[in-house]
Structure 1
Amino acid sequence: MSSGVLHQPVNLPANQPKQFYRGGEAIAALRGGTSGDFGPEDWVASTTTLYGRSDAGLTTLPNGVLLRDAVQADPTGWLGADHAAKFGGDTALLVKLLDAGQRLPVHCHPSNAFASSHLNCRHGKTEAWIVVGTTGPDPTVYIGFRDDVPAETVAEWVATQNTRAMLDALNPVCVRAGDTVFVPAGVPHAIGEGVFIVELQQPTDFSVTLEWQGFLANGDIGHLGLGYDVALDCVDRQGWSGKLEELVRQTSAKWAPSVDLLGRDADPFFQADRLHVEGSFALEPSFAVLVVLEGSGQLGELEVHKGSTLVVPHAAGELALSGDLVAIRCRPPVLSAVSSMEDVTA
């Protein structure tokens, strides 16, 4: 692909594939659109499809080309030479806006190793949540088992759909805007009603749904076609109650031109920072996804405002983000961290 308009930042419309759970009002309020009952996720700059679907979830660029196809046609232009050498035309990143209009089911996601062995994919699904808003009296997320849980106990909970036991076994964490939650692959979790997040994740839609009753049509949908006897091998059954500080951070008091939101543990999977711009801030060349939370301004020559979601190709070079605004910048993994992780797990 030649240099030109698609080697500049691109404003993206909402991309809300239908989901099995309710939500979407907070997305509509941020973006200035209308909400559907089952539009709780906006897949931003997505090259990933919903599990089992051929096209749902993919982002279409203004020229009608799928972002996935554009990146695969010019991985160096979109992603940079170093990233392309490691991942080819794979962005290694999926970003979503997620507005939980009801509590999500207890579920978890496979690791890279599990996905490679059982799902023929190099990526599992480690993810992270950046809380950008909440509603209701007790906005809560549930993260990791409180105590170690035997494999046979997890299997019994799933077989009998013992929702209360599953939820009681998790650590409830009341959240507010500025909180971040890092969710390693395998860690069971659920997002409570009224929690609005910017979510970063590896670019798959792999979920092992432990609590499927009342959410999915049947249990067969919840085990990725593997059967629960195999799928439950991906569950992290260790207790997290004494080390939640490894997963949950509060960042709202941090105020700098760029605030690192996730820390080094996330580096092998993705990067996120909150940008506070008063005047102008220089963005180094990188593939990036931006979500503008407040204010307005310009990214290069492109006007942006509250609710703008943008994809930035590496070949756009150094860009000035100017104006008076707050934005979340999401980027692919740190390549040196990916290599280090692979060396350890090899």
Structure 2
Amino acid sequence: MSLPPLRFEPIFKENLWGGSRLPAFLRRPAPRAGAIGEAWVLSDVDGSPSIVADGPHAGKTLRQLLAADARAILGSAPLVNGRFPLLLKFIDARQELSVQVHPDDAQAAAAQPGANGKTEAWVILRTNPDTSRVYAGFREGVTAADFRAALVTKTVPQTLHCFTPAPGDCVFLEAGTVHAIGAELVVFEVQQTCDITYRLYDWDRVDEKTKQPRELHVEQGLACADFTRGPCPPVTPTRRRVSARREPVEWLADCQYFTLFRQTSETPFVVGENGLCRLVVCVAGSGELVNGTRTPVSVGDVVLLPASSGAAVCHPAGSITLLECGVGPGPAR
């Protein structure tokens, strides 16, 4: 079957460290009182299925559409362990997230049969230059013994590479990289479809609801942590073509699981690719995507362009900045 571009309702997640900006950012009412740390805007995670927001398939889940015709959505790209391969989310960190690590594919499958690992990339959208920090990878020379000692003395942040992010920065984190999102940040994240997180250090916080510290997973996390991996600074973007029919774009990440690139323009430009699944994320400005149908987009909107739908032309209303995520590696790898 041929599918039109698809938009999904965000799934809001309450978090101890979360803020209050995501409902307004996504132009949705807050589902309840409380700190909202995440909005999952495309998910095939068990228990958190994305639901189509509008159009002829409104009310259906991504899983239902994949069960009906996965090839129409993914083209030749496979499902991974029966799921859509990627999870997309926005994060609003009022406080620091825990210092954490995620398993690779083999480690995840050993812990939970059928689970994927988690390699991810962040794009920084909002920041406080006076207080916001990103922790990504170890400082040069830090060993497993150094880190264990820091857990005891509660000096974990001193073992991590830390920098002050700027809006637009991209951070690429392979599975096994110890990391933390700092306070007062809004971040877009693309990752493998995985919900396994091992918390190593939680800033000595107490959960206001339980009056207890959150559970840590030190031994599981240390077994996954890659101590050969040093600092992970922001990505230096490169400009390259996605295909012959498109202008060069600002390339941010390219790994075996996903691609991520960015384009800013005041004039019409092509997004997506015929026969391929692409995910378009608006992070600034507004406009509409046209490919037989007309799909308006503004800040916070995420549009899945199914393989059967093909490429679209973005018509900006002024200037627009779109991120585009592809499933699997890029064409030049």
Q: Which TM-score tier does this pair reach, normalised by the shorter chain?
A: 0.7 to 0.9
Identify the residue that residue 11 of structure 1 maps to in structure 2: 7
Gaps of 5+ in 2: 241-245
Cα distance change, pair 21–252 in 1 and its aligned pair in 2 (3 A): farther
Conserved in 2, the CA contact under 8 Å of 1:275 and 1:326?
yes
DSSP-derived class of the 2:12 partner: coil
Confirm or deny that 1:114 pairs with 2:107. Answer: yes
Change (3 A) 1:230 1:267: closer
Structure 1 pair 297–208 and aligned structure 2 pair: CA distance change class (3 A): same
**When you count strand as a share of all residues, which structure comes out higher?**
2
1:343 is matched with which residue?
Answer: none
C-alpha distance in 2 between matches for 1:121 and 1:11: 27
Which residue is equivalent to 1:47?
A: 44
| Corresponding residue for residue 32 of structure 1 | 27
The residue correspondences of 1:133-282 to structure 2 (distance < 5 A) are: 133-135=126-128, 137-155=130-148, 157-158=150-151, 160=152, 162-163=153-154, 165-212=155-202, 213-214=204-205, 221-223=215-217, 228-238=218-228, 240-241=230-231, 244=232, 247-251=233-237, 259-263=249-253, 266-282=254-270
SS in 2 for 1:83: coil
Provide the rounded CA distance (Å) in 1 between the counterparts of 2:213 and 2:221.
12
**Alignment gaps of 5+ in structure 1:** 50-54, 341-346
Partners of 1:156 and 1:299 in 2: CA distance: 53
Any idea what SS the aligned residue of 2:36 has? Answer: coil
Q: Is the 8 A contact 1:144 1:171 kept in 2?
A: yes
Change in 2 beyond 3 A, CA 1:153/1:126: same
- 8 Å CA contact 1:75, 1:89 repeated in 2: no
Deviation per CA, 1:186-216: give whole Å up to 9, x if none: 1111111112111111110111100144266
**Secondary structure of 1:74's partner?**
helix
TM-score after normalising by structure 2: 0.82
Residue aligned with 1:274, SS: strand
Once the two structures are superposed, what CA deviation does each residue of 1:62-111 show, in whole Å capped at 9, x if it has no partner?
3222212322331101111x213x64753211111112111111111111
The 2-side partners of 1:137 and 1:311 are apart by 36
Aligned residues: 311
C-alpha distance 231-134 of structure 1, shift in aligned 2 (>3 A)? closer
Q: Deviations over 1:229-250 (max 9, x none)?
A: 3442101223624xx4xx4225
SS at match of 2:114: coil
Return the alpha-carbon distance in structure 2 between the equivalents of residues 22 and 291 of structure 1: 22
Q: Percent identity?
A: 26
Question: 1:52 — aligned with what?
Answer: none
Q: How far off its partner does 1:148 sit?
A: 3.8
